[in-house]
């Protein structure tokens, strides 16, 4: 927490450097990987199929894969382009990722370790709820990812129950 002093030469055993989808960096205990790299890749590949989800991130934490949708601030960039001198446009083209923010919108929760079944849930923004709600039936991750990721950042998302 201080700007000066001795630096650590190595990470403590059993710890890792972790960066959250929001860009915060932590030193934390290494978490077990209960969801495989292949399962994580299934969700990432499905997100990559949709241009409107460019920049979205997936966080793996114990039995939960959380999809964070990027708010790319395109409306702000568009407004800035109208008032930015042409000499500074190159800076504006490089800056947008610094302006992005991320919102947790969809989760896939591992509910059956043996059969590798997941349950999908979405974030509910009703003032009386403001929490995760289950949607659909449990199933295999590729099927659930294909079924639900296409709704992210679309009006149809709010119809998922």
| Strands 64-71, 131-140: pairing kind | unpaired
Structure tokens at 112: 């059956």
> For 83-113, how does the pLDDT look when each residue is reduced to its tens digit (9 = 90+)?
666 666 666 556 556 667 889 999 999 999 9
Q: Can you name the residues that pair with 65 across neighbouring β-strands?
A: 60, 108
d(C-alpha 29, C-alpha 12), whole Å: 9
In this prediction the pTM is: 0.81
* DSSP letters for 43-54: HHHHHHT-GGGT
Residue 137 has pLDDT above 70, yes or no: yes
Q: Determine the pLDDT at residue 31.
A: 93
Q: Determine the pLDDT at residue 139.
A: 97
Q: Is 135:160 a contact under the CB 8 Å cutoff?
A: yes
Q: Determine the pLDDT at residue 34.
A: 97
Of residues 80 and 124, the one with the higher pLDDT is 124
Q: Determine the pLDDT at residue 125.
A: 81
């Amino acid at each position: 927490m201080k700007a000066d002093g001795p630096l650590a030469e190595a990470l403590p055993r059993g710890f890792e450097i972790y960066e959250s989808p929001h860009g915060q960096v932590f030193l934390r205990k290494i978490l077990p990987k209960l969801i495989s790299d292949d399962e994580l890749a299934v969700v990432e590949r499905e997100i990559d199929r949709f241009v409107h989800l460019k920049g979205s991130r997936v966080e793996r934490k114990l039995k939960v894969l959380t999809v964070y949708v990027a708010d790319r601030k395109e409306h702000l960039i568009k407004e800035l382009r109208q008032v930015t001198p042409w000499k500074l446009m190159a800076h504006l083209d490089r800056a947008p990722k610094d302006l992005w923010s991320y919102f947790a919108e969809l989760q896939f929760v591992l509910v059956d370790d043996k059969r590798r079944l997941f349950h999908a849930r979405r974030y509910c923004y009703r003032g009386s709820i403001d929490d995760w709600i289950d949607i659909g039936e449990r199933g295999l991750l590729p099927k659930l990812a294909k079924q639900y990721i296409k709704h992210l950042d679309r009006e149809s998302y709010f119809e998922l129950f």
